[in-house]
Amino acid sequence: MPEGPEVECTRRYLHPLIGKTVKKIQLTELSQKYPKYAGKQQDFYWFDGQQLIDIERSGKFLIWRFDGEKVILNHLGMSGKWILLKKNNQSLTSHAKALIYFEKQPHAIFDDIRNFGQFKIFESYKIVLKYDPIRKMGIDGLAKPFPMDEFLLRFNKPNYASKEIGAVLVDQKLVAGMGNIYKAESLALAKINPTRLVKTLTKKERKELGLAISKTLWKAVDCNGSTFSTFQIPTGQEGSAQHWHKVYGKHGEACQDCGTEIIRIVQNGRSTFFCSECQK
Ligand SMILES: [Zn+2]
């Protein structure tokens, strides 16, 4: 699933679209099979002739901004990706849900195999900022410098104290953009066992975790994210961050640092991977 780094890479590679004028935004025939898109085509006609002025990232969301008031909130879900179409006759991807045709190429396709993504109009930027998943978001794990004070503050929330750190760390209200992959890798880098209760973590460990989060997320951005099955940046290339993962998806393999077998457990219904020797 695309996490903050994959969404950030997507945003960066969509940059050539900024300043371009929209000819038409089209929802595909396939998308009309799903209630969230069905019957919505006419609402997208408003964007004809609009100039795209920015694509912002907020956690795992992209906010498409135009010179008029309306915005499009876009989430890549489990399998979403954007592809830039360089030629008019280039064929569409088989899971295309939406297309943005600009007056000049490249055009852009939103492809989403598993259909958990979001491509939704909001009446204004102000209104989208009030949308709960955006409004309640925690620190941006990719913020530079890493907002350590606010991270420590949010971490202190009483409702986290008796929960396991591996379960808490994917809460978007703590670190926006964090998901299962980089949670496991950040905890491995900070040498913290994911089953530890938050209240048992010392201030030093919390700080180390904050630094590990920042380092891990940025290293992933530098590698164009992680690709396990579907993720691609808009140029069609796959990410390569999976090549340096220490623990994610490596259960049954030997830890690179100590040789102990990496184990997989389930926390809150989601897999967590770690080395019980290196992570205490
Ligand atoms: Zn180890």
Is the distance from CB of 119 to CB of 74 less than 8 angstroms? yes
pLDDT digits (tens, 9 = 90+) for 74-133: 999 999 999 999 876 677 788 999 999 999 999 999 999 999 999 999 999 999 999 999
* Cβ count near 243 (within 10 Å): 8
Specify the pLDDT at position 94: 85
The amino acid at residue 209 is L
pLDDT digits (tens, 9 = 90+) for 2-52: 999 999 999 999 999 999 999 999 999 999 999 999 999 999 999 999 999
Specify the pLDDT at position 89: 67
Question: Cα of 183 to ligand 1 centre, how many Å?
Answer: 17
Work out the percent of the chain whose per-residue pLDDT is above 90: 95
- Alpha-helical segments (H) within the chain: 4-13, 125-129, 132-135, 148-155, 165-168, 180-189, 203-222
Question: Cα of 258 to ligand 1 centre, how many Å?
Answer: 4
Tell me the pLDDT band of 161, cut-offs 50, 70 and 90.
very high
Q: Which residues are catalytic?
A: 2-3, 60, 270
pLDDT digits (tens, 9 = 90+) for 223-251: 999 998 889 999 999 999 999 999 999 99
Question: Cα of 201 to ligand 1 centre, how many Å?
Answer: 20
pTM: 0.96
Taking 80 as the threshold, does the pLDDT of residue 135 lie above it?
Answer: yes
* CB neighbour burial string for 192-213, b if at least 16 within 10 angstroms, e if fewer: bbbebebeebeeebbebbbebb
Domains of the chain: 4-135 (3.20.190.10), 140-274 (1.10.8.50)
Question: Cα of 275 to ligand 1 centre, how many Å?
Answer: 5
DSSP label of 20: P
